[in-house]
Structures are given as C-alpha cells and as structure tokens.
Amino acid sequence: MRSFVFILVLCGVMVFSAACLAENPVQCGDLVLVVTGFKSNAGQARIQVMDSERAVTNESISFCMIRSRIVNQKVEIVLKGVPYGQYAVQVFHDVNGNGVIDKNIFGVPKEAYGFSNNVRGKLGHPDYADMRFELKEPLATPQISVQ
C-alpha cells in the first residue's frame, strides 16, 4: 500500500511539473553566422556574440566567444538552441593569432573587423542598439562583413 501511495504521489508531481513547464517553455532557435569579406584565410576569426550592452566592453560576460578557421575567405557557424532574445555580434580577423585586434599608433585597427547588421561607428565602436538583432523565430542569419 505504501508503494502504491508513493507511486501515486510521484505521478502527481510529474503531471504537475509537466503542466508548469508547458506553460512557460523556453523558446530557442538557431543562429547562423556567416561572416564574409576576409582578405585571406590566414589566422583566425574571433567572434563575440553578445546578449547585453555590457558585453560590448566586457567580453567575459558575452553569450559566447568563438575562434574559427577561415575557409575560402569566409566563416560559417551555426549555434543551435539559442534562447529567443536580442543579440549582437562583433568579429575581427586575427591575422597573427595574438588574440587582440592590432592597431596603429593612432589607435586605428590594422586588422579587419565587422559588426552585425554591417553597421560602422562614426568615430569608433558602433552602438549596441545599432548592432543588435532579434532571434524570435527558429532561424536568424544576421549580415556580417569584415573590412
């Protein structure tokens, strides 16, 4: 009898849990990153996917950081199961593999870089609001080209 009651309670908990989960499912989609415009296949692409404005200046809180080989002067990456929301992407071509974007003595980048929505800043980095896009369907493919 005790095992029957235990099974009955366990079944009730599972049914209740399933009902709660069904009310608030986390919707996810795939984020397809296609980065074009690389002048060569040398080095690697460094890609930062951000889900908040704070991540622009603090890569340690990014949604994810990706280092990728460049093939045929292009990078293609699929991130599966990304929760719906707002994201932004910044990329640079780390030609020498040192992990940072190299700059000249005036602070101008010497390595190619780009941002989602192909935006450019007027005098520096573009605003997060201009870079962001929304993942709200099963598939999003933001446009990114390095220059």
Contact 91, 46 (CB under 8 A): yes
Report pLDDT for 24: 59
Where are the chain's structural domains? 28-145
> What pLDDT sits at residue 124?
83
Q: Which element (helix H / strand E) includes 13?
A: helix 2-23
DSSP codes joined into one string, 56-77: GT-GGGSSEEEEE--BTTBEEE
**28-145 fold:** Immunoglobulin-like (2.60.40)
| pLDDT tens, N- to C-terminus, the chain (147 residues) | 444 333 443 444 344 444 444 555 789 999 999 999 999 999 999 999 999 999 998 989 999 999 999 999 999 999 999 999 999 999 999 999 999 999 999 999 999 999 999 999 887 889 999 999 999 999 999 989 999
Tell me the CA distances in angstroms from 113 to 27, 95, 120, one per residue in order: 31, 11, 10
